Each structure stands twice: as structure tokens, then as C-alpha cells.
């Protein structure tokens, strides 16, 4: 990804007039004296991608200091604060990313923004393939506060940061997923074994059985059954104080023991009496009404006479010649002449068909009534047995069992018990209601059967009403029984547990259970053993995984060390104290040290090693921070690289090395787009000179009016342009502005001198360039220039100019504007006469 | 498409291809989503349990 341009409005030092900076594909230089908007420009880029300032998020203890810091304080209320950039992506497409500040930081809250890509709102820049981890330094933007982060961070943070740079956190994720999957797959509940383990301490019987089962590796179902039946026989002997009959001893010991345990438990409290059964499906009470209705219709339409005449019609129509004749015939039964016309024969046929349908309908109706009677009987019978037996308890029984319950149950559960017993009476009442309604339906059904037999119509409406009444009663019983069962289930469970506990029958019940169902415990044992073995293998696999991950990390550490050292050698080629390597402290990854080598000879042989943090100077720590930053973003390039004053003002001596060596390596060995911001116009110009073949884009950032904010001007690094920039400041009444103007004017004068000297040398055939005079001041250059001034009066004017602009004369006292304007006019004249002609 | 575990191949290169650790890590190879990898992991582990059961049975 490359940046085509950046546009800023109303953000920090930028004012209401949007400023656009167009970037060179390889190198762009942004120059600005302090407090002219350089940092605002770099932070605008950071804000565009992240929606925040890392300086606030990571590097301050008091976020309140950043309240209302993003929006320019002088901005009119209607003006928007935004940052936008045109990005050229790796696939060659270009996209416009724009972030608008909708709410600034306050002392309590974060800022709010809206982000769009080509006008479409987006959540974050993930759509552009930009990962936002790890913080800080999520972007290839190096600023003053991040320069030494990797070096100065606390050990744990440094280790985390470097690990994340090395990007092995994905392997941590894999390890974590394996561990979680193993826990999920390998940990199972084994209910019977859990019961065995919880009870074996108090029961020699169970201890013996469990020990035997554990000896079987793996146990078969037959083996478990044999052991459990043997234990069941022993248990029966202990409880009943007699032996099982020989014929029951082998196969049925578990079953007999279970029954004995149940009997003993029921003797303490008849828990099973509290258990409700299930009512039959209420759909069985649906009356098949259609056959009855059809029967009633048929019965109503068949008249008694028709029934009587049916036999006559059948015999008449059965005669062959009657069936075939079309003319009127004499009736063969009553001998009435011409009585059988075609119409009459047809009517006789219809009557016969009706009678046949009637017979079928009656038969079906009789079946329905008879089936319903049978179903009704069955439903009622099973309804009665679904009610818990306790509903039949007499009062003295209730009192007797309550006393036991009071002893066994917790007070809270006991209240539920009382409610359930009361509920039983209500259930009995509801059952009686159902019975009464069923008797009514029965009477109506029998009456209907009689009516059908007699050929009469069934009173369907009365029957329907009675059935509906019965169904409602049945449903009420069903829902009350369900409510009872819900409330009674936990009571029964606690009673069962308490009875077993009090009676000491739990181990016997468990032996009986295992003897009756050996397959379950055999399977639990086999499965548990297999999963234990699997767990051992997974633990060993995770150890192997850890070793391999450490190897990967070490290899990557080695690579990163080499890369950091490579950049260090570019930045500080001649230091006898140098960065040597990154090193894990001990075996773990909690501490990672930057190791430095100290040597007495330039060959760096036989060095001593120390931790860099302890022995490096401030300047060296800065260089190490820069080397680490470069190594990191060369490893995982995003496409561009922004360096905000990578060499501090206090370290001016290393600027030349940076400009020559580091920038050159970035441009030659990578395809990165490099953006360098610097407070030093001189350094900015030097970069432009060094890489003139590109040539780089250069911008000058300045503020002449706080309301107007930072103005970004493209710098064409010509003498003419230098003069024009100086002119903007030189005439100002503001002393600081004038000081800048004076400096710019001095730079232009130095440039004039260099260009004139180079021109003269070239005319003599010397191969030289302006950079040959890097670092030379106006006072160094002036003597060489004086002899080339051909107009006598120019010499005095040039000396005056040199005096006015030389450092020292105005560091404390800035020359007045009039003096600077005269100097500017003279310099422009010299340029015309000696350089531009 | 960004791979789920960028360093996986470096890790697999350092594991014995016949080992369980390799099989477990390989669950993430070519997986497009974490859910897919988790499903493969579960299958690998279930297979391991089946093998343990079967080995225990054949040992007796």
C-alpha cells in the first residue's frame, strides 16, 4: 500500500482550509520548524487509520490532558474536522479513506469518529488488510514517543511486544485450541464410577468390588457381571442374614438384592406411593362423530314403507324381462296393468340403493359406539392407576409418614411435601369428577346403541356435550397431575437419598444396580481408561509442541536480531559499543534482553557483552529504537514508512549518516515508500540533494496565522523558491517569525554561495556537486564567493549580507525587518547577476 | 486469503510427522475457519480415544 495524498482539515494545528500533501512513490520530505504542524501531520495519518492517538492511549497516565485536543481550537463551529487519504493498494487499485471527527476527546471519554472507504461507511481498516495489532506501534509510523518503546518498555511488555512482532501468537492460539479441545473430548462424566468412588470409603463391600473391577484391564461385561453378582450375593447375606437359594445365586442375585433394598427403603418410607404415572393420551377420548352423523342422515331418509317394500322391489327388479324392457309392463306381484313404467323402475332402483347405504352407515355407527365404549373403559381404568398410591392413604397413614418425612427432609423441602400431600386430595377429587362425567357419557352411549338397533336417530348433540364435558375434566386432571409430579420429584429424590443415607442401603443399592446393568460400568471403566491414556499422550504432544514453538521463536529471534543489527550498523557504523543480539533470559519467554557488545577495537573482536538498556547512551538507545522499528516494518512491510525526526536534534551528528546510509538502503533494498519528517530545513534539503535523481517531493509546513493553521507548501528546492519562502517570514513584525525568516534567508545565501562555487569549478572542468559543501556555513563559504563577485560594490553588499545573516548576530537579537528586507533584495540581485544568468 | 495460522508450516517442519503433536497441529492446516479446525481437532482426539480403547482390548 502506498499513500498518494493526504488531506487534512481542522485537525490539531490544521485550520479550516483543507491542506493536501501529495506523496512521492519513494521519498517525501516534510520540513517544519518546531510547533509548525509536523507532528500534527504525522498524527493525522495515525488518526486516519486508528481513530485515536497512540500518545494518549499508551503513553500518558492522564488521558484528561488530551481533552478537546483533536479539533483545532480556532475552528468555526460549522467546519468539519477530517483526515482523508488516497491509497494505492497492492493490487494496483486506489481507494479513498476518510475519517471525520464527530466528537472530540473529553476528560472522561474517548473521541468518536466516522470512517468511510470510497464514500461507504466502514467499521475499521481491516477491509484494507491492515491488522491493528500489536499496540503500540500498530502502524509503520515512528514518532518521538514511540522511538524507544521496544527498548524502554517494562520487561513483560517488551517480551509481549517483541513476541507479537515475531508473530508467533498464532501458535499460542493453536496450543490453546488443542488444550481446550482435549478438555472437551477427554473429560467425561462417569456417573456409576463417581457413585462408586464416593461410597467406597465407607463400605468394605464396595471397596472390594471396586478394587476387583480396577484390576480388570480392560474389564469385559461378563467379568463385571460376575464380580457384581458375587458382591450382590454377599450383600444379600449381610442384609437378609441368610444366603440366596442356589438356583437364584448366579444370575438373579442383583435383581433380588435390588428388590430387597427397595423393600427395606419402602419400609422406612413408601416413596413409590408418591410417584404418579402417566395418564393415557387424551386423543383417545375423541368421539368419531362423522359415522354417527352419516347414520342419522341415512336413518332419517329411509321411511318405514321403503323398508317394507324393499323385498318386493328386489324381487321385481330381479326378473330378467323387467330389467330389459323399456315399454310399461304389468306388475308381476299385484298384476296391475302397465304399472311398471321406466320412471317407476328407476325410482325402485334409487330406493334400493338408499337402503343399502343406510345399512352400511348403521353398521359403522354401531362399531364407533362400541369402540368408544371400550376406549372409555380403558382410559378410566388407567387414569385411576396413574394417580400416586398415596392418594388412597388414610389419615393415620398420612400422619405416620409425615413424622418420618419431618425427620428426613430439610424444612424447606418439608413445606413442599405438605403441599404435595394436600394436592393428592385434590387430585382424587378431580379423578372422581372424571368418573362421574364418564358415567354420564356411558349412559348416553348405551342409549345411542339402543336407538341404532331400533333404527332411530341418535341424539348426537347431547352425546357431544357429555364427551366435551368429560374431556375438559380429563384435561384438568392431566394438568394437575403434571404439576404434582413436577413438585413431588425433588421431594422423592431427597427422600430416597435420605432414606438410603439413614438406612445405610446406598452401597447395596449400587451393588444391585451394577449387577443388573454390568454393561454400563464396564463401558465407563473402559472409556475412562482410554481417555486417561489419551490425556497422557496429549500432554506429551503439547510438550513436543512447546519445544517446536520455542525453536520457531528462537529462529525468528535470530532473524530479527540479524535484521536489527543490520540496521544498527547502518545508523551507527563506527560505535565501539554496539547492538549485538536479542536474547531470551533463561528458558522462558517472559524476559527478552537487548544485548550490547563492547569492544576496544574497531574490528569489534573479543567484545564484552552487557544489557544494552544499562550501558547505551540516550543517543544509542534512540538508534536502537530506530533499528528495531526498521527491522520490524521491513519484516512485515505495509508499503509505506513514516519517520518523524528519526534522529533527534541533540543527535545532529548522526543526521548525515542517516540521510546517506539508512535512507539509501531503504530506497535501494526495499520497495517501501519513505516519508521523512524533520524539524531541520537543512536536513530536509540535504535529503532532496542526495536523492535528486528521484527527485523527492518536499513540503514545508508553517503557521503564519493561528486561525489559518498549518499551511503545507510544496517546496521546489530551487534558490528562487528558497528566497520566496524566506520572503514570507522576513518582513513579519513577529520576532519568532522574523527569526525563521532570517534563518531561511541565511540558508538561501548559503545555497547561493554553493551554486556559485560549483558553477565556477565546473567551468574550470572540476567534477563537483552541491553536496560536496554539505555542512559548510555561510562564513565558511563567503571567502570563496567574494573573489567571484565581479562588480566592486557587490563585495561590500555581500559582506554586509553575510554579517546580517551569520549565526551569533541574531541568536539572541533578531535583525529588524528592514535589515532583512535589504539583505533579501541584495541576495536576489546577486542570484540574477551570478547564478541565474 | 489470509492463512489461519501463518507460522504453522514452520512448526510442522519441526515436529515428527508420525507424532500426535503433528496430527493435532495439522488440524489447522488448510482450515479456512477456526470452527473447521476445531472440528478436525475433535475428530483427531476421538480417533485417539478409539485407538486407546482398541489397543487396550487387544492387549488382553
ipTM, two decimals: 0.96
Contacts of A171 in chain B (CB under 8 A): 5, 7-8, 11
CA distances from A481 to A279, A398, A424, A486, A811 (A): 9, 19, 9, 9, 101
pLDDT in the model for residue A541 = 97
Looking at residue B1, its pLDDT comes to 40
Among A181, A540, A542, the residue with its CB nearest the CB of B41 is A181
Is A422 strand, coil or helix?
Answer: helix
Q: Do A627 and A579 meet the contact criterion of CB atoms below 8 Å apart?
A: yes
CA diameter of chain B: 50
* CA nearest to A172 within chain B: B5
CA distance A803 to A455: 141
Task: Scan residues 519-558 of A and list those with Cβ closer than 8 Å to B.
Answer: 526-527, 529-531, 533-534, 537-538, 540-542, 544-545, 547-549, 551-552, 555
CB contact under 8 A, B57 and A218: yes
Cell of A360: 352400511
Residues A45, A642 contacting (CB under 8 angstroms) = yes
DSSP alpha helix (H) spans, A735-791: 735-763, 778-786
Rounded to 10 deg, the angle between the A342-386 and A289-301 helix axes is 150
d(CA A258, CA A92): 80
> Alpha helices of A606-718 — where are they, by DSSP H?
612-615, 618-635, 655-657, 663-669, 681-690
Query: Can you read off the three cell numbers belonging to residue A544?
Result: 513436543
Report CB contact under 8 Å: B56, A526: yes
Which of A163, A216, A541, A558 should we substitute to test contact with B (largest number of B Cβ atoms within 10 Å)?
A541
Sheet with A608-611, edge to edge strand ranges: A577-584, A592-598, A608-611
What pLDDT shows up at residue A285? 82
User: For residue A49, what pLDDT is reported?
Assistant: 93
Q: Do A533 and B28 touch (CB under 8 A)?
A: no
Q: How confident is the model at residue B57 (pLDDT cuts 50, 70, 90)?
A: confident
What is the C-alpha separation between A24 and A691, in angstroms, rounded? 12
Q: Is B29 on the interface with A (CB under 8 A)?
A: no
Q: Which residues of A757-774 are buried (b: 16+ CB within 10 A; e: fewer)?
A: bbebeeeeeeeeeeeebb
A622 neighbors A614 (Cβ within 8 angstroms): no
Query: Residue A92: left (phi > 0), alpha (psi -120 to 50), or beta?
Result: left
Question: Measured between CB atoms, does A267 come within 8 Å of chain B?
Answer: no
Q: From CA A694, how far away is CA A709, in angstroms rounded?
A: 30
The answer to whether the CB atoms of A217 and B60 lie below 8 A apart is yes
C-alpha cell at A488: 413431588
Strand partners, A20: A7
How far A185 CA sits from the closest chain B CA (Å)?
7
CA–chain centroid gap for A43, Å, is 30
> With an 8 Å Cβ cutoff, are B34 and A537 in contact?
no
Closest CA in chain A for residue B51 = A530
Decide if A444 contacts A350 (C-beta within 8 A): no
What's the pLDDT at B55?
86
Which of A530, A540, A546 to mutate: most B Cβ within 10 Å?
Answer: A530
Mean pLDDT by 10 residues, chain A (837 residues): 95 93 95 91 95 80 86 92 95 94 92 95 84 69 81 75 73 93 94 91 89 84 91 91 79 90 90 88 82 81 57 63 66 73 71 73 87 85 87 90 90 88 87 90 90 83 90 89 89 89 90 93 92 95 94 86 92 87 76 83 79 84 89 87 86 85 94 94 86 85 87 79 82 82 89 91 83 83 92 92 75 79 93 87
Identify whether the C-beta of residue A775 lies closer than 8 Å to the C-beta of residue A798: no
Please state, in angstroms and rounded to a whole number, the distance separating the CA atoms of residues A475 and A433: 12
Q: Which helix (H) or strand (E) holds A329?
A: none
Query: Quick check: helix, strand or coil at residue B57?
Result: helix
φ/ψ of residue A140, rounded to 5: -75, 55
What distances in angstroms separate CA A834 from CA A752, A756, A761, one per listed residue?
9, 7, 14
Asked if residues A716 and A684 have their Cβ atoms less than 8 Å apart, the reply is no
- Provide the 10 A C-beta neighbour count for residue A34: 9
- What is the model's pLDDT at position A26? 95
Chain A to chain B, count of Cβ pairs less than 8 Å apart? 101
Instruction: Summarize pLDDT for B4-56 with one digit per residue, the tens.
Output: 788 999 999 999 999 999 999 999 998 888 999 999 999 999 999 999 998 88
Instruction: For residue A541, list chain B residues with Cβ-Cβ distance below 8 A.
Output: 19-21, 24
Considering only CB atoms, A171 lies closest to which of B7, B42, B46, namely B7
The residue of chain B with its CA nearest to that of A526 is B53
When computed from its CA atoms, the radius of gyration of chain A, rounded to whole angstroms, is: 52
Alpha-carbon gap, residue A649 to A559, rounded angstroms: 31
The rounded distance, in Å, linking the Cα atoms of A40 and A60 is: 18
Ordered DSSP codes for A610-640: EEHHHH--HHHHHHHHHHHHHHHHHHS--SE
Whether A541 sits inside 8 A of B57 (CB atoms) is no
Residue (of A350, A361, A345) closest to A300 by Cα position: A361
Of A174, A217, A530, the CB nearest to B5: A174
The sheet that has A2-9: what strands, in order across it? A19-22, A2-9, A82-88, A94-103, A112-117, A120-122
**Chain A residues in contact with B56 (beta carbon < 8 A):** 217-218, 526, 529-530, 533
Amino acid at each position: 500500500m502506498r499513500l498518494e495524498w493526504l488531506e487534512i482539515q481542522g485537525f490539531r494545528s490544521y485550520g479550516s482550509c483543507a491542506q493536501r500533501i501529495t506523496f512521492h512513490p519513494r521519498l517525501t520530505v516534510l520540513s517544519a520548524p518546531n510547533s509548525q504542524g509536523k507532528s500534527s501531520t504525522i498524527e493525522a495519518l495515525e488518526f486516519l487509520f486508528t481513530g485515536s492517538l497512540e500518545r494518549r492511549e499508551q503513553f500518558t497516565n492522564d488521558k484528561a490532558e488530551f481533552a478537546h485536543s483533536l479539533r483545532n481550537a480556532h475552528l468555526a463551529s460549522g467546519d468539519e474536522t477530517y483526515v482523508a487519504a488516497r491509497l494505492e493498494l497492492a493490487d494496483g487499485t486506489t481507494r479513498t479513506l476518510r475519517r471525520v471527527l464527530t466528537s472530540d476527546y473529553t476528560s472522561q471519554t474517548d473521541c468518536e469518529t466516522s470512517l468511510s472507504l470510497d464514500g461507504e461507511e466502514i467499521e475499521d481498516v481491516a477491509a484494507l488488510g491492515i491488522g491493528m495489532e500489536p499496540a503500540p506501534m500498530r502502524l509503520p509510523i515512528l514518532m518521538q514517543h514511540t522511538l524507544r518503546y521496544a527498548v524502554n518498555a517494562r520487561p513483560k511488555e517488551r517480551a509481549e511486544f517483541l513476541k507479537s512482532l515475531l508473530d508467533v501468537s498464532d501458535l499460542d492460539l493453536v496450543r490453546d485450541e488443542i488444550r481446550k479441545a482435549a478438555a472437551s473430548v477427554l473429560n467425561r462424566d462417569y456417573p456409576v464410577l463417581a457413585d462408586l468412588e464416593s461410597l467406597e470409603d465407607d463400605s468394605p463391600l464396595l471397596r472390594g468390588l471396586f478394587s476387583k473391577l480396577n484390576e480388570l484391564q480392560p474389564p469385559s461385561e461378563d467379568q463385571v457381571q460376575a464380580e457384581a453378582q458375587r458382591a450382590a450375593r454377599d450383600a444379600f447375606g449381610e442384609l437378609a442374614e441368610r444366603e440366596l437359594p442356589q438356583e437364584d445365586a448366579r444370575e438373579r442375585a442383583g435383581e433380588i438384592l435390588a428388590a430387597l433394598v427397595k423393600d427395606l427403603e419402602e419400609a422406612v418410607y413408601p416413596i413409590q406411593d408418591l410417584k404418579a404415572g402417566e395418564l393415557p393420551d387424551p386423543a383417545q377420548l375423541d368421539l368419531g362423530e362423522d359415522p354417527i352423523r352419516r347414520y342419522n342422515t341415512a336413518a332419517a331418509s329411509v321411511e318405514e314403507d321403503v323398508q317394507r317394500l324393499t323385498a318386493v322391489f328386489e324381487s321385481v327388479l330381479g326378473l330378467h324381462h323387467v330389467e330389459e324392457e323399456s315399454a310399461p309392463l304389468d306388475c308381476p306381484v299385484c298384476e296391475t296393468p302397465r304399472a311398471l313404467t321406466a320412471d317407476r323402475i328407476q325410482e325402485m332402483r334409487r330406493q334400493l340403493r338408499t337402503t343399502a347405504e343406510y345399512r352400511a352407515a348403521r353398521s359403522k355407527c354401531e362399531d364407533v359406539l362400541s369402540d368408544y365404549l371400550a376406549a372409555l373403559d380403558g382410559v378410566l381404568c388407567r387414569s385411576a392407576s396413574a394417580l400416586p398410591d398415596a392418594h388412597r392413604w388414610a389419615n393415620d397413614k398420612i400422619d405416620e409418614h409425615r413424622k418420618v418425612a419431618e425427620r428426613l427432609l430439610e424444612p424447606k423441602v418439608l413445606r413442599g411435601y405438605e403441599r404435595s400431600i394436600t394436592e393428592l386430595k385434590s387430585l382424587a377429587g378431580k379423578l372422581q369428577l372424571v368418573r362421574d362425567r364418564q358415567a354420564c357419557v356411558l349412559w348416553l352411549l348405551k342409549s345411542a346403541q339402543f336407538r341404532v338397533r331400533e333404527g332411530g336417530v341418535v341424539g348426537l348433540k347431547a352425546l357431544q356435550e357429555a364427551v366435551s364435558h368429560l374431556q375438559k375434566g380429563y384435561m384438568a386432571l392431566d394438568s394437575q397431575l403434571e404439576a404434582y409430579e413436577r413438585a413431588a420429584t425433588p421431594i422423592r429424590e431427597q427422600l430416597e437419598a435420605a432414606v438410603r443415607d439413614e438406612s445405610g442401603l446406598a452401597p447395596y443399592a449400587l451393588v444391585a444396580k451394577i449387577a443388573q446393568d454390568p454393561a454400563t460400568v464396564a463401558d465407563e471403566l473402559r472409556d475412562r481408561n482410554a481417555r486417561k491414556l489419551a490425556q497422557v499422550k496429549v500432554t506429551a504432544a503439547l510438550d513436543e509442541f512447546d519445544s517446536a514453538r520455542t525453536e520457531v521463536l528462537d529462529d525468528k529471534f535470530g532473524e530479527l536480531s540479524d535484521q536489527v543489527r543490520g540496521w544498527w550498523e547502518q545508523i551507527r557504523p563506527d560505535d565501539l559499543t554496539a547492538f549485538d543480539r536479542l536474547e531470551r533470559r533463561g528458558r522462558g519467554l517472559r524476559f527478552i534482553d537487548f544485548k550490547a557488545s563492547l569492544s576496544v577495537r574497531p574490528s569489534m573482536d573479543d567484545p564484552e557483552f552487557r544489557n544494552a538498556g544499562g550501558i547505551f547512551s540516550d543517543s544509542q538507545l534512540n538508534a536502537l529504537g530506530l533499528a528495531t522499528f526498521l527491522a520490524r516494518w521491513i519484516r512485515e512491510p505495509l508499503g509505506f514508512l513514516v519517520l518523524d525526526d528519526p534522529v533527534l536534534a541533540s543527535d545532529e551528528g548522526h543526521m548525515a549518516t542517516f540521510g546517506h546510509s539508512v535512507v539509501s538502503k531503504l530506497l535501494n533494498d526495499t520497495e517501501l515508500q519513505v516519508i521523512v519528517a524533520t524539524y531541520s530545513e537543512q536536513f530536509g534539503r540535504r535529503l532532496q540533494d542526495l536523492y535528486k535523481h528521484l527527485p523527492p517531493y518536499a513540503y514545508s509546513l508553517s503557521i503564519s496565522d493561528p486561525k489559518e493553521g498549518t499551511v503545507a507548501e510544496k517546496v521546489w528546492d530551487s534558490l528562487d523558491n528558497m528566497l520566496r519562502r524566506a520572503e514570507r517570514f522576513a518582513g513579519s513584525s513577529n520576532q519568532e517569525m522574523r527569526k525563521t525568516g532570517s534563518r531561511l534567508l541565511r540558508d538561501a545565501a548559503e545555497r547561493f554561495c554553493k551554486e556559485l562555487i560549483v558553477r565556477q569549478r565546473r567551468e574550470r572542468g572540476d567534477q563537483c556537486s552541491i553536496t560536496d559543501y554539505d555542512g559548510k556555513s555561510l562564513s565558511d563559504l563567503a571567502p570563496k564567493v567574494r573573489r567571484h563577485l565581479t562588480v566592486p560594490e557587490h563585495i561590500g553588499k555581500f559582506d554586509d549580507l553575510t554579517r546580517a545573516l551569520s549565526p551569533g548576530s541574531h541568536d539572541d537579537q533578531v535583525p529588524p525587518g528592514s535589515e532583512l528586507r535589504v539583505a533579501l533584495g541584495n541576495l536576489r540581485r546577486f542570484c540574477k547577476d551570478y547564478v541565474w544568468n | 486469503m489470509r492463512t489461519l495460522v501463518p507460522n504453522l508450516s514452520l512448526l510442522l517442519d519441526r515436529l515428527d510427522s508420525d507424532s500426535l503433536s503433528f496430527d493435532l497441529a495439522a488440524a489447522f492446516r488448510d482450515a479456512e475457519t477456526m470452527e473447521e479446525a476445531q472440528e478436525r481437532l475433535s475428530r483427531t482426539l476421538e480417533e485417539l480415544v478409539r485407538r486407546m480403547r482398541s489397543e487396550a482390548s487387544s492387549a488382553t
